[in-house]
Structures are given as C-alpha cells and as structure tokens.
Amino acid sequence: MLNQTFKMYNRRPLRVAFIGGGINSAVGRSHFSALQMDGLYKLVAGCFSRNPKINLESGKAYKVRKARIYDNIESLIKNEKENIDAIIILTPTTFHVEPVIAALEAHIPVICEKALATNLEEIRKIYYTEVKNKGFLVVTYNYTGYPALRELRKLIKSGNLGRILHFVAEMPQEGFIRCGLDGKPIKPQEWRLKDGKVPTVYLDLGVHLHQIVHYLIGAKPRQVIAFHNSYGNFPEVIDFVSASVEFEGNIHGNFYFGKSMLGYRNGLRFRIFGSEASVEWEQVHPEEIRVAYANGQIEILDRGSNKVLICNQLRYSRFKAGHPAGYIEAFANIYADIYETLLGFLNSGNWTSDEIFGSALAQEGMNLLEAMALSAKTRSIIRLED
C-alpha cells in the first residue's frame, strides 16, 4: 500500500479546465483545493465567470496563463480540446446542460458538479449525447469521499447489521432563515431563489441524500409520499422537505432536508437500523461511526481503532489519527478515484468504479426527486414505476 501511495504522488497530473468555479464561488474554491491536495491534476485553462473582471481575477488566482482564460465556452472548447484531459463543470445547476453537451460532443471527458441537471428530461438528453459520442461523464458527490462512510458501507455489506430495516437521512441547514448582524435576511445566490419542476432545494440537498443511500445500501426506491413547504425568508421557493420512501427489500427510509432549520450549518446525518445492529454517522464528527448492537453494547469506531479496515488505510491518512480530516480531504478522495477512473477510460474507452458515479445514477436520483416533488404537490403516494 505504501508503494502504491508513493506511485500516486509521482504520476502525471491530468490537465483540466474549469467552466464556472470563479474565486467568488465556494464551489470553485472547494474543487480547486481538492485538485491540489494530491498533485494529481493541474488546472490549465478556464472560463470561470461571465463577469470579465472576476473571470480574469480567477484565472490569476488559480495561476492560469492569461492566454488560456476564455470569455465563452465555445472558445475554450475549440482551443483547448487537444490540450486538456477533462473539463470540470462548476456553473449553477441550471446552466449545466449546455457546457456538458458541448464538451461531450467535442469528445472531452466531463466531470460535473452535482446535480447533473434540473430534471429528468435534461438528464436523458445528456445521457443520449454521452452514449452517442462514447463519452466520459462523472458527477461529483463529495460526501462519499469521507473514509468513515466508506467504512460504513463495508460494515453494511459484511452483514454485521443483519437485515437492513429502515433508515433516516437528514440534511438540515439554516441558510434561508438566518439573518446577518444587521438583522436582515442573508440573501443566497439568485439561482437558488428560483424553483423549476423540481425545487432547487431538492437539487442542492436531496440529490446528496439519494446518492449516499445508494452508496451505502444499494436498494432502489419503489414509492414515496412527501411534504414540502416554505418556512424561511424567501416564500417564493421551497425550503423544507420531508419524505417517506419505500425501497425494495421492504426497507423504509425517511428523508428530511431543507434550509429553514436554525442551528444547523450543515446537519448531514445518517442513521441506519438493522436487525442485529444500528449505525450512525454525522458530518460534524466526520471520523466517528457509532455502532449499537442487539446485546446493548455501544461502541465508537474511528480511524485510530484496530477494528476498522477502510478508513485507516494510508491513502486516507494524510495526517495521523487525532488530526481530523474533513470536507476538502473527502473531496480530494473523490478526485483521486476520478483520476484512476479517467485514466482507465483514456486507455481503454471504458470505465467502471465502486466510488464514482455517472449519468445512470443521476437518472435514478432525479426520478426519485421528481416523484417526491410531485407527491408533495398532489398530496399523494407516487409509485416510481409510474
């Protein structure tokens, strides 16, 4: 394992370009930081912002040569398609379809920030383009880069929990109900204040919960009944969702997410209940898994424990146990997996991964989110087969 890690740090960096992700965006800074962590990528070009000043300032901050900073997507693709290994799409979700399809048509591998698109019709359009061009498309879901979640998946697959009975997937946040020091509401970006067929809060938070459930449990959703509403400072958009979902295997799941829950900056938490044991993981304690057994015993696992098999691996130990790894490290783990996956594609034209997901999972997730939104609107049970 040690030799493999040293090999990773000595490999050729993949050359990437950003579309979106300017220095004025949290998503841009997150992706850029994660790209740098293991030296596996080099950002060489970009169209970072529609604002000319921010576009140039972003390129300068990211140390991209001025000649390779573009003011439109078309010019970037035309001039860089032979000089880059992938394009990373970091625009708001409502502006994903055009650059994703343009890159796939130009036979450039695509790494796209979640959610892939705003509705199922858009995702199918992207999927058709991907298949037609035999392209490469992956979507970044950073939370399953946390080593503890990877450990948790192994625990579940090993059968230690027994039969999975039910779970609770939560992602409460406070951004749409918080006020600043002046007492006025903190205003989010404009694109977050517009709802389409699927309200934006579903695309922002619900998409993560679906992907993590798929990652940990693997069961497919069958039917849903949901409620949503607006409780925060922006009544024109939905900011709270609660959904009860029946999965195959008679597994029941509760989804609870939104942006009108004071006291939660990002309350991502999973509780999974089995016939023999239950597990709990919270992002605010990213290196700990709480396990409760049928005999009443409760234990905490972390990467310093001699009982773990995944999260203490050298690739996840950039720092020794006791020096907590967090959000950016999780993102870097995803990018390390994308690196291996993309190299495989560039060498063979095909790819497979247990850690990275593409348009197929995006379609399943959007199918569930559309069903949730329709159920909340019609106050009825929606079967996903319909």
- CATH number for the domain spanning 53: value is 3.40.50.720
β partners of residue 20: 90
- Tokens at residue 304, please? 């310093």
Q: Say yes or no: 206 and 248 in one domain.
A: yes
CA angle 158, 340, 322 (to 5 degrees): 60
Q: Say yes or no: 251 and 372 in one domain.
A: yes
Q: Say yes or no: 175 and 238 in one domain.
A: yes
pLDDT of res. 24: 94
Total domains in the fold of the chain = 2
Q: Say yes or no: 122 and 14 in one domain.
A: yes
CA distance 217 to 276: 16
3-state secondary structure of 256: strand
Q: Could you tell me if residue 159 is left (phi over 0), alpha (psi between -120 and 50 degrees) or otherwise beta?
A: left
Q: Say yes or no: 187 and 312 in one domain.
A: yes
Q: Let me know if residue 244 belongs to a domain.
A: yes
Helices (H) and strands (E) in the chain, counts: 11, 14
Q: Let me know if residue 28 belongs to a domain.
A: yes
Cut 0.85: pTM above it = yes
Torsion of CA 310, 313, 316, 318, to 10 degrees: 160
> Within a 10 A sphere around the Cβ of 375, how many other Cβ atoms?
21
- Look up tokens 């949290």; give the residue: 26
Q: Say yes or no: 131 and 261 in one domain.
A: no
Domain boundaries, position 73 = 2-143+336-356
Q: Say yes or no: 119 and 185 in one domain.
A: no
CA distance 96 to 80: 19
Q: Let me know if residue 124 belongs to a domain.
A: yes
Q: Say yes or no: 151 and 242 in one domain.
A: yes
Q: Say yes or no: 26 and 174 in one domain.
A: no
Q: Say yes or no: 175 and 281 in one domain.
A: yes
Q: Let me know if residue 48 belongs to a domain.
A: yes
Q: Say yes or no: 157 and 46 in one domain.
A: no
- In order along its 386 residues, the chain shows pLDDT tens digits of 334 444 555 679 999 999 999 999 999 999 999 999 999 999 999 999 999 999 999 999 999 999 999 999 999 999 999 999 999 999 999 999 999 999 999 999 999 999 999 999 999 999 999 999 999 999 999 999 999 999 999 999 999 999 999 999 999 999 999 999 999 999 999 999 999 999 999 999 999 999 999 999 999 999 999 999 999 999 999 999 999 999 999 999 999 999 999 999 999 999 999 999 999 999 999 999 999 999 999 999 999 999 999 999 999 999 888 888 899 999 999 999 999 999 999 999 999 999 999 999 999 999 999 999 999 999 999 999 75
Q: Let me know if residue 386 belongs to a domain.
A: no
Q: Say yes or no: 106 and 150 in one domain.
A: no
238: CATH:
3.30.360.10
- Tokens at residue 68, please? 């390779």
